[in-house]
Amino acid sequence: MPDTEKNTAMETISSSLLGEQYYKITHKSGVTLLLCPMKGFSTAYALFGTNYGSMDVTFKTPEDKDFVEVPAGIAHYLEHKLFENEDGDAFQRFAATGASANAYTSFDKTCYLFSCTQNFEKSLEILLDFVTRPYFTDETVQKEQGIIGQEIRMYDDNPDWQVYFNLLKALYQKNPVRVDIAGTVESIAEINKELLYRCYNHFYNLHNMVIAIAGNFSVESVLEVADRVLKSAEPFQTERRLPEEPDEVCQRKIETELEVATPMFQMGFKLKGGDTAENMRSQILDEIIVEIIAGENTPIYRELYDRGLINATFSGEAMAVRSLLAVTFGGESREPETVYKAILERVRQLKKDGIDEKLFQQCKKATYGRYIGMFSRPEAVASTLLLSQFTGVEMYSLVESLGNVTREQLELRLKNQYHEDWSALSIVRPALN
């Protein structure tokens, strides 16, 4: 049992179903540690994340009289800037330990990470140090505007990116997810050193952050580094505000032209969301429904594939982001409108006739198998641990709830949520020269 004398609380969370366990520790600094040592693995994977993403542009702190609004893209901007400080570039520091490092910003979180097979403690020290020690100057902030502006323009020409974000623009009228995670060239021009420090000092509060680690490491080594590097944080308080989103989509169809050989498409259903925990559980149901609608074992998939209307790029996805829920299907197709209509017809048929029991069992087992397979990959375990903390849904309970899903639950969800009027189609066609 790890020594937690200097820490406020520790809980061992186990799953009798999976025969697995991990430790949840509330560190004296305020950060939550989710630690899952995995026997027989040579790699350790560590995530240091904050519950702060691109959609957090309107918020209120205890010091604010009213809500403040910051430029779109500032969370992503912070991600870029944190790798630089007085000691140089954090990537160079990781290179000296042999670790592979990266970071990402999503709609609702920002995460910094590394994986390594050696020098774990030193790499962890680098991670905790650079994320908790910001260094912004007017000169470096201005320089970064050019770098991120170039990145934004690059994504403007990326068909995979454009077809997906155009779908979000079609589905949502007001939610910030319709804006690129990196912001726009115009919005990032408004970002300065003071705004970066303001958002950092608020959202990078350790009480709003999680350290999730899985694989080859010891709990004691993590506590030793955390005790040495992390300083106690004040309690975290914030009010986040999102604009009220209508049920109706913004537009049913959106098209653009880019340099592609074959038209690309994304279609989706805008679903009614609840709170963050409810949405996480709903995503489990939607993942099975995605397979039932147009998974590889369905007649519609085989028919569309045999007719050459879809190819191996076709896939479906269920997305849950705080109060937002959506389901998407996409890939390449020479007739994207035909595929869109076929999927809508498939949903109408399922609502009318119900879900075939054999197909339900196949799709449920396939989804269950993907979740079970996750526990053989340290990066997947660490990522799910972090997600579970931010959503309030314990990791093992996700798998257990999946095992209890019934066909009747899915049929009711299809009838209540998957409405044709709440769907939209995004197409990227080959540019005409």
| Span 363-378, pLDDT tens digits | 999 999 999 999 999 9
Confirm if 29 and 22 have CB atoms less than 8 A apart.
no
* Catalytic, out of 20, 79, 190, 220: 79
- So where are the chain's domains? 9-240, 253-430
Edge to edge, the sheet with strand 100-105 lists 9-15, 20-26, 32-37, 209-215, 44-50, 110-116, 100-105
Element (H, E) at 9: strand 9-15
Residue 86, pLDDT score = 80
Identical fold, 9-240 and 253-430 = yes
Interval 278-311: pLDDT, tens: 999 999 999 999 999 999 989 999 999 999 999 9
**Residue of 349, 231, 369 whose CA lies nearest to 287:** 369
Classify domain 9-240 at the CATH superfamily level. Answer: Metalloenzyme, LuxS/M16 peptidase-like (3.30.830.10)
Residue 1, pLDDT score = 47
Q: What is the pLDDT along the chain (433 residues), one digit of tens a residue?
A: 455 555 568 899 999 888 899 999 999 999 999 999 999 999 999 999 999 999 999 999 998 999 999 999 999 999 999 998 887 789 999 999 999 999 999 999 999 999 999 999 999 999 999 999 999 999 889 888 889 999 999 988 999 999 999 999 999 999 999 999 999 999 999 999 999 999 999 999 999 999 999 999 999 999 999 999 999 999 999 999 999 999 999 999 999 999 999 999 999 999 998 899 999 999 999 999 999 999 998 999 999 999 999 999 999 999 999 889 999 999 999 999 999 999 999 999 999 999 999 999 999 999 999 999 999 999 999 999 999 999 999 999 988 889 899 999 999 999 999 999 999 999 999 998 6
Cα–Cα distance for residue pair 276/282, rounded to 1 Å: 10
Element (H, E) at 59: strand 58-60
Q: What is the CA radius of gyration of the chain?
A: 23
φ and ψ at residue 242, rounded to 5 degrees? -110, 145
Element (H, E) at 48: strand 44-50
Residue 322, pLDDT score = 87
Say whether 79 is catalytic.
yes
Q: Taking the C-alpha atoms of 86, 92, 96 and 102 in order, what is their torsion angle to the nearest 10 degrees? A: 110
Burial class (CB in 10 A: 0-12, 13-18, 19+), 234: exposed
Residue 6, pLDDT score = 56
**CATH of span 253-430:** 3.30.830.10
Residue 424, pLDDT score = 98
Per DSSP, the residues of 10-47 read EEEEEETTTTEEEEEEE-TTSPEEEEEE-TT---EEEE
Cα–Cα distance for residue pair 71/64, rounded to 1 Å: 17
Strands 209-215 and 32-37, sheet pairing: parallel
Residue 381, pLDDT score = 97
> Token pair of 308, please?
């050459």
Burial class (CB in 10 A: 0-12, 13-18, 19+), 1: exposed
151: how many CB neighbours lie within 10 A of its CB? Answer: 15
Residue 210, pLDDT score = 98
Give long-range contacts, CB 8 A cutoff, 24+ apart: 36-39.
Answer: 36/212, 36/213, 36/214, 36/215, 36/378, 36/381, 36/382, 36/385, 37/214, 37/215, 37/216, 37/217, 37/218, 37/219, 38/214, 38/215, 38/216, 38/378, 38/381
Which residues are bridge partners to 76 per DSSP?
none
Confirm if 260 and 313 have CB atoms less than 8 A apart.
no
Could you identify the residue written with the tokens 């901007």?
A: 77
Residue type, 187: S
First to last CA, the chain: 67
